[in-house]
């Protein structure tokens, strides 16, 4: 949701939004199944339903925080303007620790984590995602990188 907010704040278009949601679902499904969760759960309301809502609604604190960051506000300002706890800010580091421990590739979470906790430049974090090698999807749970060519997105000139 933070990544989708950042993309919206940077005026990336709906293709990027859809790619982040679908690849984000693949990332969280890989982690969940590695930890013993069921893929079917991730495809229901608790997974894709929650993901679509939180990645698309300005009432989502994580999405709204990302929107403010993508619009150029720094972390402190974006947090101060939040209407409550932005769970994703702290949870991102915890998710990355689990992913690293179990060897699960999570490039979107990694990029957001680098931005939030390791001082990565916003445009560098986005660039790292967009420059990943293109490969076939290989199925929802295959360990494949982003396969959409976002360089031709519908971002305004």
Mean pLDDT for all residues in the chain: 86
Q: How far apart are the first and last CA of the chain?
A: 24
Model confidence at 70, pLDDT cuts 50, 70, 90, reads very high
Q: In the chain, what are the domains?
A: 2-135 (1.10.1040.10)
Percent of the chain with pLDDT over 70: 85
Q: Which two tokens stand for residue 157?
A: 């000139």
pTM of the complete model? 0.82
The stretches of 71-120 forming alpha helices (DSSP H) are 75-80, 87-102, 107-117
**Given a cut of 80, is residue 148 above it in pLDDT?**
no
pLDDT of residue 147: 41
pLDDT of residue 122: 87
Give me the sign of the Cα torsion angle 152, 23, 21, 7: negative
Model confidence at 135, pLDDT cuts 50, 70, 90, reads low
Q: Which two tokens stand for residue 140?
A: 């929802």
pLDDT digits (tens, 9 = 90+) for 104-124: 999 999 999 999 999 898 888
Tallying the residues shown for the chain, one arrives at 157
Q: Which of 57-71, 113-127, 130-144 has the lowest mean pLDDT?
A: 130-144
Distance from C-alpha of 117 to C-alpha of 43, rounded to nearest angstrom: 30
Which residue's entry shows tokens 């969280």?
Answer: 28
What does residue 57 show for φ and ψ, rounded to 5 degrees? Answer: -120, 130
Measured N-to-C along each axis, helices 87-102 and 61-70 cross at an angle, to the nearest 10 degrees, of 90
Three-class SS state of 153: coil
- For residues 153-157, give the mean pLDDT: 47
- For residues 90-114, give the mean pLDDT: 95
pLDDT of residue 46: 86
**Given a cut of 60, is residue 23 above it in pLDDT?**
yes
pLDDT of residue 157: 45
């Amino acid at each position: 949701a933070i990544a989708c907010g950042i993309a919206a704040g940077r005026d990336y278009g709906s293709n990027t939004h859809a790619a982040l949601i679908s690849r984000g679902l693949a990332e969280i499904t890989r982690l969940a199944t590695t930890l013993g969760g069921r893929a079917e759960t991730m495809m229901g309301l608790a997974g894709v339903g929650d993901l679509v809502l939180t990645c698309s609604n300005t009432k989502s604190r994580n999405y709204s925080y990302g929107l403010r960051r993508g619009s150029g506000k720094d972390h402190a300002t974006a947090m101060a303007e939040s209407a409550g706890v932005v769970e994703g800010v702290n949870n991102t580091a915890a998710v990355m620790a689990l992913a690293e421990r179990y060897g699960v590739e999570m490039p979107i979470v990694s990029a957001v984590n680098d931005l939030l906790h390791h001082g990565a430049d916003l445009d560098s974090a986005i660039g790292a995602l967009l420059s990943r090698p293109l490969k076939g999807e290989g199925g929802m749970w295959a360990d494949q990188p982003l396969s959409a060519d976002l360089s031709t997105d519908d971002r305004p000139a």
